[in-house]
């Protein structure tokens, strides 16, 4: 008889020759008393050498005890364990072990995510640098995030992101709207916050924490009035505008422009970025934003995503399992932030009707209007963010801030 450990529980192996020399298919179970506690014992007759083995495995009581041990993590206060402690490494592994979203039920994924919240997040420099290097090779935001005079000279035939058969001739008038070069450089900002519009951020009281970061990205001119700022903050350095918002809410700026200008005043002197070259329909309405701000003599920067950059980003995330007609504006900004910032924090990113505790939440923090089905792949985007959080690449905030 010998005692063996499988890394979880010790067990005893006892071997002996089977008396009748025939292969046995029968498996029997019985109980054995040990000094420490009762265990379940399984007796197997090995097929190859006709030997019997007694293997001690945990009983139901032990399994329940192990479950209680896991539950204990939830009873600890959030962020009470070090990210690289043994317990936290196990909890992080539970997230990264889920290779595809469909491997586990949503409730199981939520439980693993809740357990991980007891770990104080810490950036893994090696993992982060490797991820940034991959992005640099494929996408290179510091050079190609926006169309500039440097990367898109006058006379260029610019290919649209979606209408790839269509080409836009960059005339001197269009060229004049581009900045000379990219306004941001590699890892220019130490700590950045990318703010999604998900209902998960409601009642989080994260506003002060967000406003304390060095650079804040926002998506699609969301409301940041006093009613919301305690949760989402008010500081904004770069905000995206989907041309469909201008079309639906501001009549393509073909008539009155002051209402749109007044909305932008909420974002102080933040820069704007639009996907002017996503398709041919987006171009004119995006250009009107630039013309309007010039008319009002606004110092606000207006930039246009480079279509090749967005195509490269789409390909990059497709390899990670995010396959959709269109990536969300949030994922585009997170991708850019990874190259422009040393450390990236995400707030308001969630893709499920319930928060990690199973409580129903609104789709946005300001309304419950659902997106067009089948356009984005939000659950897969959030699933990737969870993995990146567990690996120490980005910090995903889904709970209240202190």
**Neighbouring-strand partners of residue 347:** 195, 397
Active site residue 376: yes
Give the DSSP per-residue string, 100-142. SGGGS-HHHHHHHHHHHTTEEP---HHHHHHHHHHHHHHT-HH
Q: How far is CA 167 from CA 139, 145, 177, in A?
A: 21, 19, 18
The rounded distance, in Å, linking the Cα atoms of 50 and 23 is 6
DSSP-based three-state secondary structure for 342: strand
DSSP code of residue 150: T
DSSP code of residue 370: P
Number of helices followed by number of strands (H, E) in the chain: 14, 16
Question: Kind and range of the H or E element at 387?
Answer: helix 378-390
Residues 6+ apart with CB under 8 A from 24: 18, 45, 50
Dihedral Cα 230, 344, 180, 312, nearest 10 deg: -120
Q: Please name the residue that has the structure tokens 């919301």.
A: 228
**Closest by Cα among 118, 130, 66 to 89:** 118
Phi, psi of 348 (to 5 degrees): 75, 20
Determine which one of 364, 376, 389, 397 is catalytic: 376
The rounded distance, in Å, linking the Cα atoms of 160 and 38 is 69
What b/e sequence results for 293-318 when a residue is b if at least 16 CB atoms lie within 10 Å of its CB, and e otherwise? beeeebebbbbbbbbbbbbbbbebbe
Residues 6+ apart with CB under 8 A from 319: none
Active site residues per annotation: 376
């Amino acid at each position: 008889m010998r005692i063996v450990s499988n890394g979880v529980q010790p067990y005893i192996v006892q071997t002996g020759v089977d008396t009748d020399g025939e292969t046995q298919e029968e498996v029997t179970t019985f109980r054995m008393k040990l000094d420490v506690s009762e265990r379940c014992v399984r007796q197997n007759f090995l097929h190859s050498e006709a030997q019997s083995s007694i293997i001690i495995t945990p009983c139901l009581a032990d399994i329940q005890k192990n479950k209680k041990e896991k539950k204990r993590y939830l009873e600890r206060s959030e962020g009470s364990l070090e990210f690289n402690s043994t317990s936290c490494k196990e909890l992080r592994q539970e997230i990264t072990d889920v290779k595809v979203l469909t491997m586990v039920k949503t409730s199981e994924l939520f439980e693993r995510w809740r357990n991980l919240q007891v770990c104080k997040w810490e950036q893994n420099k090696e993992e982060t640098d490797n991820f940034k290097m991959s992005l640099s090779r494929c996408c290179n935001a510091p050079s190609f995030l926006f169309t500039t005079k440097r990367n898109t000279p006058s006379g260029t035939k610019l290919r649209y992101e979606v209408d790839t058969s269509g080409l836009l001739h960059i005339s001197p008038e269009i060229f004049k709207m581009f900045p000379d070069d990219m306004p941001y450089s590699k890892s220019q900002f130490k700590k950045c916050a990318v703010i999604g519009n998900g209902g998960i951020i409601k009642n989080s009281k994260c506003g002060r924490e967000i406003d304390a970061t060095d650079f804040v990205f926002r998506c699609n001119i969301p409301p940041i009035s006093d009613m919301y700022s305690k949760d989402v903050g008010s500081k904004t350095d770069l905000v995206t505008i989907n041309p469909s918002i201008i079309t639906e809410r501001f009549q393509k700026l073909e008539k009155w422009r002051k209402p749109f200008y007044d909305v932008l005043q909420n974002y102080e002197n933040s820069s704007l970025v639009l996907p002017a070259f996503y398709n041919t329909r987006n171009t004119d309405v995006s250009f009107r934003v630039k013309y309007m701000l010039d008319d009002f003599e606004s110092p606000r920067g207006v930039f246009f995503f480079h279509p090749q950059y967005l195509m490269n980003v789409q390909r990059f995330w497709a390899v990670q399992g995010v396959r959709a007609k269109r990536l969300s504006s949030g994922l585009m900004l997170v991708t850019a932030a990874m190259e422009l910032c040393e450390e990236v924090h995400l707030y308001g990113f969630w893709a499920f009707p319930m928060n990690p505790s199973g409580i129903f939440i609104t789709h946005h923090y300001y309304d419950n209007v659902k997106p067009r089905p089948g356009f984005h792949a939000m659950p897969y985007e959030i699933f990737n963010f969870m993995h990146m959080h567990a690996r120490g690449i980005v910090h995903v905030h889904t709970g209240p801030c202190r």
